[in-house]
Amino acid sequence: MTKAGVKKKTEKTTDIPVVDVYSLSGKKVEKFKLSPDIFNVAINKALLHQVVVMYMANFRQGNASTKTRADVRGGGRKPWRQKGTGRARAGSIRSPLWRGGGVVFGPHPRDYRFSMPKKMKRLALLSSLSAKTKDNEVMVLEKDPEFSKPKTKEMVKVLTALKASGKRNLYLYGKRDDNLFLSCRNIKGLTVRLSSDFNAYDVLSNTNILFSKETHDSLIKRVGK
């Protein structure tokens, strides 16, 4: 019983998300606790929308261009006299009203890029990873595949064993490995990023997020508290 007007203090508990760990052959080998500071934060949908708009705007080249009447060649001579012909007044055959004339308010080369504060980008990244965890779209591997040389077929076998083949997948790895990168590069629907070089758009634009337990430690160092 608590007295009227006195609020009972409750301790805030943070749920620790637990996921299955898969071997490279697709078998479940153990359970793994993900960092709640990265994979179980409040999901800010408005911020996710804002950051996706930013990344998509930054992808735009902005090369579309049209010519105004000042840019179109010709039209310097008045086509006919001002009065007495019975026709409408005209000063140039390159008027926007004429075929072959300039374009009014057409697109011109421009830069669509804009940026957001680092703290907002970090929060969006945490929100995206937490959203994927909530949707059961995070897959943790026992270890990263090791290749003595680029082997795309072997990487395809790994994805097939994990039942991730044919889907859009984001594979994160902690340490630079050229053989692993080259083995993944030509696989349709597979995006490969270092754990130090990916963003919220990479996460949201793919269905599954794959990484090893070792890469999980790298993610903690990058975005964890």
Q: How far is CA 2 from the centre of its chain?
A: 50
Parallel, antiparallel or unpaired: strands 138-141 and 18-22: parallel
The residue assigned the tokens 């421009």 is 110
| Under 8 Å between Cβ of 131 and 208 | no
Give me the mean pLDDT over the 126-140 stretch. Answer: 96
Q: State the Cα–Cα distance between residues 109 and 107, nearest whole angstrom.
A: 7
The residue assigned the tokens 């994979």 is 39
State the architecture of 18-60+113-223 in CATH terms.
3-Layer(aba) Sandwich (3.40)
pLDDT tier for residue 82 given thresholds of 50, 70 and 90: very high
Q: How far is CA 68 from the centre of its chain?
A: 36
Asked if pLDDT for residue 166 goes beyond 90, the answer is no
Give me the mean pLDDT over the 55-77 stretch. Answer: 95
Q: Please tell me which residue, 52 or 166, carries the higher pLDDT value.
A: 52
Torsion sign (Cα): 66, 68, 74, 75: positive
Structure token digits, residue 172: 């994160």
Give me the mean pLDDT over the 187-205 stretch. Answer: 95
Report field, pTM of the whole predicted structure over 0.75: yes
pLDDT tier for residue 223 given thresholds of 50, 70 and 90: confident
Q: How far is CA 5 from the centre of its chain?
A: 49
Could you tell me where in the chain the CATH 3.40.1370.10 domains are found? 18-60+113-223
Cα end-to-end span (Å), the chain: 38
